[in-house]
Amino acid sequence: MVGELVARARSGDGDAFGELVARFQDAVFATAYGIVGDYDEARDVAQEAFVRAYESLLDLRDVSAFPGWLLRICRSVAMGRLRKPMARSGVPESLPAPAADPGAIAAGRDLVARALEPLTENGRQALLLWLVDGYTYNEVAGLTGVPLSTAKGRIHRARRRVEREVLAMMGETLRKERPDESFTLETVEECLGKAEEAKATGEWGKAIGHAEQALSVLSEIGMPGHDVRDLRLEALGALSDVTLFRSPQRWEQAQLERARLLDEAGEPVEAAYQRYLIATYSPSLSNSEKDDLARACVGVWRAHGAHEHIARDLFFRGWRAIVEGRSSEAYALFDGARSELKEVAGHTSDHALLAAAERFRLVNGGRLTAENRWACGAVCDVGQIDGDRLVLRAQPGCASQIRAARYADPVPGSAFGLLWFLGWYPLRLTDDRGPWEKPTSSYSMSPTRTTAWLEQAPEPVETPAGTFRGCVLLRASVSPPTDEGPDATARAVHAFWVGEYYCLFAPGVGPIAYRHDGLDGPGTMETLYSYSVPSPTTDLLPLSPGTLWEYGPHPPADGIDGRVFDEVTHVSDDGKVYIARTYFAVRT
């Protein structure tokens, strides 16, 4: 229905656009208010957002993506207002008009503003979408681009926080009374908020501690209900995020408990997904037990038509066949995954992973065999365009170092390697060239720390793909964590991770060379061998679909022939970018 209205509006049907305004004005107003925190300003922002959307309708490639695209425009306008206040243009007739009593309005606005003020921006946006326009949890998740569980958690925490703020304003405070279950839930929410903050700054030890504290408090609550179960699921999710590679046994316990609670909640597809992760990463199950568990999960997905989950399973089974030298079987599994994705709307990371698998089939040309295979992989970088940067959001896929010793022997590198570690890449050059400092990924309980900056590169820069001028160098210096402890694996990983990173960008071309110098000395320079940019641009990082880069070591590694291919497979209307990577290395 939305797509139909958008199509009519694009053809000049004013009534259709009026229907879109009527349908989404509350969501746009709620999003604007959540950012600017002022009713009149929010109405102005909403009006401007609709005007911009109307003017840009022809640029919207996927009409079904209109809601998320519209809210992205609204957020952009609102953030612009915060940076540079603008004169208000009046109250749009299509948006909510003031009530008759100005005094009542002022009192109500003050109450709402004071209640919302302590919330995070994400929490305000989710709660306002849920309250103002009555969006469901699933719809809020879709509009804000986060998983369902995250949207639920944000709304529940924000709702309870607002309820408590309002009660406090009325003179009722929990601190004056004996702590009850509401006070206990407040403690849990505080723990979860601290766990999320600690995870964001790479302080895994603190994140684990806060998540465990939340679970401990919840175990003492006798009250049943959705709120307690959802909080427990959120706490277990926070714990899982930071224990997978640091405490595998605790991670597996958390996953099993998550699956049980999801079954109780009537969400069998998601419960099966948690068990499938156990089948993938469990440290305690044998391979045959993992296979049995994975088959059981796929059976649940087939019963419920969960095509995307089935496609992901077929991809990973296909890549395992590649690693084991069974190429024909692998390609059949990839074809099966593509058939499943025909039932999935839009472009997903699984589409990009299968594009990487197809690129592998095309460029490998039979060179990787059971006898000479060294390393291979297929990965998807999911990024989000955020102003002048591409920010990394996720990186699903499969990377297999078959004969190489982990973190030691040479395997193909990618100029996008620093994107994973730093978390962003520059799209274009601005006056702000750093330095920027941030906590970054770590294998221990405390973060590594990274300092990054941009500088003009010496010229010309010679690569197998050609000679480039006007290049920009992105540099990053990564220091080790302060307390990596006695874990030998952590020390080995950090010895590989830390050090100096260098990535050269050529305007209109993208990354043309990359090197990481670790603690054991200079690394291999990965350079651009060939590239294709369908839409000419002066950006440092071209992102038009079909853009393709091929990289290889320079000079080539002794006795190893390796290549890496990065391809932009899709850019969504809300600025989400999918980059498919495939690589392989064979003995020569």
Please report the pLDDT score of residue 166 as a whole number.
53
Q: Tens digits of per-residue pLDDT, 220-238?
A: 665 556 678 888 898 899 8
Number of domain units in the chain: 1
Q: Which residues contact 309 (CB under 8 A, 6 or more apart)?
A: 269, 272, 273, 276, 297, 298, 301
pTM (2 d.p.): 0.69
The pLDDT > 70 percentage for the chain reads 78
List of residues 6+ apart from 288 with CB closer than 8 A: none
With respect to residue 361, please indicate whether it lies within any of the assigned structural domains. Answer: no
pLDDT at position 537 is: 93
Predicted confidence band of residue 269 (pLDDT cuts 50, 70, 90): very high
Evaluate whether 429 touches 472 at the Cβ level (below 8 Å): yes
Does some domain include residue 314?
Answer: no
Q: Which residue has the tokens 């079954």?
A: 263
CB 16 within 8 A of CB 9: yes
Phi-psi region of 425 (alpha: psi -120 to 50; beta: other; left: phi over 0): beta
Domain assignment of residue 168, yes or no: no
Range of the domain at 531: 370-587
Q: Which residues, including other chains, have CB under 8 Å from residue 63's CB and lie 6 or more apart?
A: 2, 3, 6, 7, 10
Lowest mean pLDDT among 13-22, 208-217, 310-319, 494-503: 13-22
Asked whether residue 483 is assigned to any structural domain, the reply reads yes
Q: Is residue 505 part of a domain?
A: yes
Residue 62 pLDDT greater than 50, yes or no: yes
Q: DSSP letters of 386-448?
A: ETTEEEEEE--EEEEESSSPTTTS-----TTHHHHHHSEEESS--S----EEEEE--SSSS-E
Most confident of 25-34, 151-160, 167-176, 345-354: 345-354
pLDDT digits (tens, 9 = 90+) for 430-481: 889 989 998 887 777 778 889 999 999 988 999 999 999 999 999 999 988 8
